[in-house]
């Protein structure tokens, strides 16, 4: 099987690492890829904002399977364009990808499917903003209705800060979504979905704030671990049965069946799990630790979803134990990441590259999130130790990472509120 991976982040390097382990995969191509994928695949140029460019490359390479990593090409229709060439593609249609591309669409689908989520209002003018802000808070959640690479969200107790963010979005012509704050520990549950067939991968938890102790601004994600010792299989089953499957069935009913990876971001509160967001793709950096433990051949698994033969009765196989991923971010990430700095020690086992380019034989930072150090072990203490040991070998001037990824879970300090 000849596979083409679309994207250039840590998620896509993790895809290539997993594909390399699959005996059915004969060739891996990546576009645009990064310095990590270049070591496992042939990198090609592509315009991620142009579905025709993605489809053209897939046809030129005679790919048997295209895996689209990021949300932007999916929302723009890359999967549709690839399938129109008769090539199997892992990833939802543009219409189904609206579950991430438009938060209002997602809210509408969830309401129709009877899924618990935050109360919300869409605001499209500053004239109606103040009255709307009065109906929320004292913790305000202000989101960009459109795609914002994880940076469109402000969660704050400060009404003035919430208002300023909303005004900035409105001035750029983006509708704003105000939401009630959902309490409880967060879970990322990735589900393979083929129409009404839904199979969850092992649950993970992401760390969205930039600095240790959950301080600082929201980011695309600063680390993750899997599985979650504090989350029972029963709750995972309930999330699938009461949230993900009803959404998949509702999309099918609307004539836009989902095919690909549906990412449910949830908060586990007293009322039970509630949806924070849906994404139309694998999450980054959760993918790095999740795929580190997946034993099922990755290319064959994704191909079965892409060609529509995937059944939820398929049993996934996992390595025992835990995996922890810690993200190394560039100086001044997320506000204004400083790029072009030399990185050393980054080509070692367990290091999954993201914003890394190669220039004259040296690795240099080329994105806000530079790499993820992944450690595995029989428990979270051991997996953390390996991840931080691997991170210790990497050097990047001004680079920063969180010291507390998976720490509370390793200490047994995460509990879910008593369910009502
Ligand atoms: N880890 C968050 C995301 O991928 O959106």
Tell me what pLDDT residue 103 has: 86
CA 284 / ligand 1 centre spacing (Å): 5
Where b means 16+ CB within 10 Å and e means fewer, 138-147 reads eebbbbbbbb
Residue to mutate (ligand 1; options 12, 70, 279, 287; most atoms within 8 A of CB) = 279
Helix (H) or strand (E) holding 80: helix 78-84
**Eight-class DSSP state of 82:** H
The backbone torsions φ and ψ at residue 229, rounded to the nearest 5 degrees and listed phi first, read -65, -20
Give the ligand 1 atom nearest the CA of 282.
4
Q: Tell me the pLDDT of the chain (420 aa) as tens digits.
A: 999 999 999 999 999 999 999 999 999 999 999 999 999 999 999 999 999 999 999 999 999 999 999 999 999 999 999 999 999 999 999 999 999 999 889 999 999 999 999 888 999 999 999 999 999 988 999 998 878 766 678 999 999 999 999 999 999 999 999 998 988 999 999 999 999 999 999 999 999 999 999 999 989 999 999 999 999 999 999 999 999 999 999 999 999 999 999 999 999 998 899 999 999 999 999 999 999 999 999 999 999 999 999 999 989 999 999 999 999 999 999 999 999 999 999 999 999 999 999 999 999 999 999 999 999 999 999 999 999 999 999 999 999 999 999 999 999 999 998 877
CA 227 / ligand 1 centre spacing (Å): 16
Tell me what pLDDT residue 216 has: 94
> How many angstroms separate the CA atoms of 389 and 108, rounded?
45
Look at residue 65 and give its three-state secondary structure: strand
Tell me what pLDDT residue 151 has: 62
CA 350 to chain CA centroid, Å, is 19
Torsion sign (Cα): 271, 277, 281, 287? negative
CA 283 / ligand 1 centre spacing (Å): 4
CA 222 / ligand 1 centre spacing (Å): 10
Residue to mutate (ligand 1; options 15, 97, 206; most atoms within 8 A of CB) = 206
Torsion sign (Cα): 221, 224, 230, 232? positive
CA 221 / ligand 1 centre spacing (Å): 6
> How many angstroms separate the CA atoms of 28 and 17, rounded?
10
Torsion sign (Cα): 138, 139, 143, 148? positive
The backbone torsions φ and ψ at residue 38, rounded to the nearest 5 degrees and listed phi first, read -60, -20
Encoded tokens for 399 = 């680079």
Beta-sheet strand order (sheet of 186-194)? 197-200, 186-194, 259-269, 272-279
Whether omega before 404 lies within 30 degrees of 0, making that bond cis, reads: no
Residue nearest to atom 4 of ligand 1 (CA): 283
Give the ligand 1 atom nearest the CA of 283.
4
**Eight-class DSSP state of 166:** H
CA 14 / ligand 1 centre spacing (Å): 14
pTM over 0.85: yes
Instruction: Please report the DSSP string for 6-50 in residue order.
Output: EE-SHHHHHHHHHHHT-TT--EEEEEE--TTGGGTSEE----TT-
Instruction: Count Cβ atoms below 10 Å from residue 100 Cβ, excluding itself.
Output: 21
CA 263 / ligand 1 centre spacing (Å): 9
CA 103 / ligand 1 centre spacing (Å): 15
CA 285 / ligand 1 centre spacing (Å): 7
Look at residue 255 and give its three-state secondary structure: coil
Tell me what pLDDT residue 150 has: 61
Residue to mutate (ligand 1; options 222, 265, 329; most atoms within 8 A of CB) = 265
Residues with C-beta less than 6 Å from any ligand 1 atom: 150, 206, 220-221, 279, 283-284, 286
Give the ligand 1 atom nearest the CA of 284.
4
Residue 4 CB partners (closer than 8 Å, separation 6+): 29, 30, 31, 57, 58, 61, 63, 65, 66, 67
Q: Answer whether 369's CB lies under 8 Å from 10's CB.
A: yes
Give the ligand 1 atom nearest the CA of 150.
5
Which residues partner with 277 through β-bridges?
265
Look at residue 362 and give its three-state secondary structure: strand
Residue to mutate (ligand 1; options 209, 219, 220; most atoms within 8 A of CB) = 220
């Amino acid at each position: 099987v000849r596979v083409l991976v679309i994207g250039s982040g840590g998620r896509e390097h993790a895809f290539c690492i997993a594909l390399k382990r699959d005996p059915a995969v004969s060739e891996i191509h990546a576009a645009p890829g990064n310095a990590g994928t270049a070591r496992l695949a042939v990198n090609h140029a592509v315009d991620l904002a142009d579905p025709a460019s993605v489809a053209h490359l897939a046809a030129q390479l005679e790919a048997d399977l295209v895996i689209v990593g990021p949300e932007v090409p999916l929302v723009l229709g890359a999967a549709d364009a690839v399938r129109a060439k008769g090539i199997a593609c892992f990833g939802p249609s543009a219409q189904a990808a609206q579950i991430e591309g438009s938060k209002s669409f997602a809210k509408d689908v969830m309401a129709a499917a009877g899924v618990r989520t935050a109360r919300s209002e869409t605001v499209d003018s500053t004239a109606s903003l103040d009255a709307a802000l009065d109906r929320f808070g004292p913790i305000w959640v202000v989101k960009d209705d459109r795609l914002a690479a994880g940076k469109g969200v402000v969660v704050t107790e400060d009404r003035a800060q919430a208002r300023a963010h909303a005004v900035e979005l409105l001035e750029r012509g983006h509708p704003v979504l105000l939401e009630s704050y959902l309490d409880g520990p967060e879970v990322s549950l990735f589900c393979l979905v083929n129409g009404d067939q839904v199979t969850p991968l092992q649950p993970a938890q992401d760390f969205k704030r930039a600095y240790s102790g959950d301080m600082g601004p929201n980011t695309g994600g600063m680390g993750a671990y899997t599985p979650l010792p504090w989350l029972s299989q029963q709750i995972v089953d309930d999330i699938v049965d009461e949230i993900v499957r009803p959404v998949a069935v509702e999309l099918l009913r609307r004539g836009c069946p989902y095919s690909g990876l549906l990412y449910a971001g949830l908060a586990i509160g007293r009322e039970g799990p509630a949806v924070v967001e849906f994404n139309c793709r694998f999450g980054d950096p959760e993918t790095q630790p999740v795929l580190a433990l997946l034993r099922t051949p990755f290319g064959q698994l994704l191909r079965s979803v892409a060609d529509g033969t995937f059944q939820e009765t398929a049993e996934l196989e996992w390595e025992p134990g835990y995996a922890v991923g810690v993200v190394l971010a560039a100086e001044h990430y997320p506000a204004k990441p400083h790029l072009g700095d030399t990185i050393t020690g980054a080509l070692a086992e367990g290091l999954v590259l993201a914003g890394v380019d190669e220039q004259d034989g040296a690795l240099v930072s080329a994105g806000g999130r530079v790499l993820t150090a992944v450690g595995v072990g029989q428990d979270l203490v051991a997996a953390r130790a390996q991840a931080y040991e691997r991170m210790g070998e990497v050097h990047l001037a001004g680079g920063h990472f969180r010291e507390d990824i998976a720490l509370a879970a390793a200490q047994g300090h995460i509990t879910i509120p008593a369910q009502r």
